[in-house]
Each structure stands twice: as structure tokens, then as C-alpha cells.
Amino acid sequence: METGKLPVARNPRRVRSVRPVTTEHSPYDPAANLDTEERMVALLEAALEDGHPQVIAAALGAIARAQGMARIAKETGLNQKSLYRALSGEGNPELETFIKVVRALGLHLHASVMA
């Protein structure tokens, strides 16, 4: 074979076309990485530090999904579908819902003076 030339197939009918490989991507779910209580607490603390209601709701939702939304719904007496909606990034849970979920998650919130 000469240098710089590509090899040519001897029988062009036998050359198969190569299909492109397609992969499906799932959206990132932070609940997948909340496998310890420390990680759950760190996420909620960061969200509370951020201060945006949607960020706090989304963090609480991720923690609830990690622990099992069905269990949280049962313990709070709230509808599971409503919890998913309220604890999404677009949700805005009422304070009563927030407190019920925090308690069902076994978390304790406290206040401190800002430095």
C-alpha cells in the first residue's frame, strides 16, 4: 500500500454502514448522592444559607426523595403528588408543610445570630 492513501474495500457491496451510537441522558438528581445524614444536612444548610425559597424547597425535596417520598407523605399526612410539586425547584411550600416535612425527615432546625 502506498503511503498517504486510505485502503479501498475490494467489494463495495460488503461494506456496511456504521450506525451512530446514541445514548440517553437522565437529568441529574441530587437525591442520588444523599446517602448519608451528613450530606443531607449539608445540602439543607447550604440551601438555607442561599436563602432563596425555591432553592430551599428543592433541597428539601431532594432529601425527601432520598429518604422516600411515600414515607414522608404518610408521616406528614400530605398528598405525595402535592409534596413532589411543593418541594420542586418551582414549588413554594407553605410554612406548615415545610415544618411537617422537616420533622418527618428527622431534622432539627435552629437559629443563630449572623456574624
Domain boundaries, the chain: 39-106
Give the pLDDT of residue 58: 93
Give the pLDDT of residue 14: 62
Is residue 85 within 8 Å of 72, Cβ to Cβ? no
Query: Dihedral of CA 86/96/79/50: which sign?
Result: positive
Q: Which residues does the chain have with pLDDT short of 50? A: none
Would you tell me which CATH number, out of the four given (1.10.520, 1.10.1760, 1.10.3470, 1.10.260), belongs to the domain 39-106?
1.10.260
Give the pLDDT of residue 27: 79
Give the pLDDT of residue 16: 62
Q: Is the whole model's pTM more than 0.85, yes or no? A: no
Cell 404518610 appears where? Answer: 74
Distance CA 96, CA 88 (A): 16
